[in-house]
Amino acid sequence: MVNRDPIGRRAPASEPDWLTLGQAAKYLGVAQSTIRKWSDQGRLAAFYTPGGHRRYRRSDLDRFLERSGPAGRVREGPVVLIVDDDPGLRAFVRSQLELEGYAVREAGNADEGLAALEQAPPDLILLDVMMPQVDGWEMLRRVHERHGVGAIPVLMFSGKIDASSAHEASSRGAQGFLGKPFDPQQLIESAKQMLPT
């Protein structure tokens, strides 16, 4: 099989010059929605097939990595770890923060979040209270146990909110609290206030 670019050059199938949206996202290590936004903003060149699908030239992706660093992030951008069992929310928050220059790591539960902390401590943790098995309160306790209270700022959020939730978060050493349902943009703005790029 031979791939062709828009002006008819040929590339060997073993090392295609053109990547699909999914392949490009994997190549750069980001979500497909992030690649789409970068294309729409003009940060990353995209070509469209007659059917309207995006294609990315490998050399453009390599140049993008050289300019921006891994996953298209500014090399010195602060690292945010988001811990939530909702993959849709994680993907949205990740793509929005990456566009602002943050490096974002994700964890689907507290155990994954604690493992990520051991690899490299982030500059900020966005932590959901309501998660299966180990909840956010217990993860917060373990973060403080391992790293010290306040060493890594933590912004808690939860779907179950009452008058005491924000006070409880503060008394347990979190630097902020948001109740759900909330506009995920609120979480992003709060993160940016706590950790400017």
Mind spelling out the 3-state secondary structure of 84-123?
Answer: CCCHHHHHHHHHHHHHCCCEEEEECCHHHHHHHHHHCCCC
Give the strand order in the sheet containing 176-179. 103-107, 79-83, 124-128, 154-158, 176-179
| Mean pLDDT of the 163-184 span | 79
Q: Which two tokens stand for residue 197?
A: 């790029």
pLDDT value at residue 132 = 82
Q: Write down the CATH number for the domain with range 2-72.
A: 1.10.1660.10
Share above pLDDT 90 across residues of the chain, in percent, rounded to a whole number:
17
Closest CA to 178 of 162, 196, 155, 195: 155
pLDDT value at residue 82 = 93
pLDDT at 11 over 50: no
60-64, 126-130, 159-163 — which is least confidently predicted?
A: 159-163
pLDDT value at residue 2 = 38
Mean predicted lDDT score pLDDT of the chain: 79
Helix (H) or strand (E) holding 155: strand 154-158
pLDDT value at residue 15 = 54
Residue spans per domain, the chain: 2-72, 79-194
Between these two residues, 56 and 3, which has the higher pLDDT value? 56
- CATH class, domain 79-194, is alpha beta
Q: Partners of 111 in the beta sheet?
A: none
| Mean pLDDT of the 16-42 span | 83
- pLDDT tens-digit series, residues 138-171: 999 999 998 888 889 999 988 776 667 777 888 8
Closest CA to 154 of 185, 115, 123, 184: 123
Between these two residues, 28 and 84, which has the higher pLDDT value? 84
pLDDT value at residue 125 = 95
Question: What are the CA-CA distances from residue 80 to residues 7, 96, 164, 188, 195 (Å)?
Answer: 41, 12, 26, 11, 9
Reported as a pLDDT band with limits 50, 70 and 90, residue 120 is confident
Reported as a pLDDT band with limits 50, 70 and 90, residue 69 is low
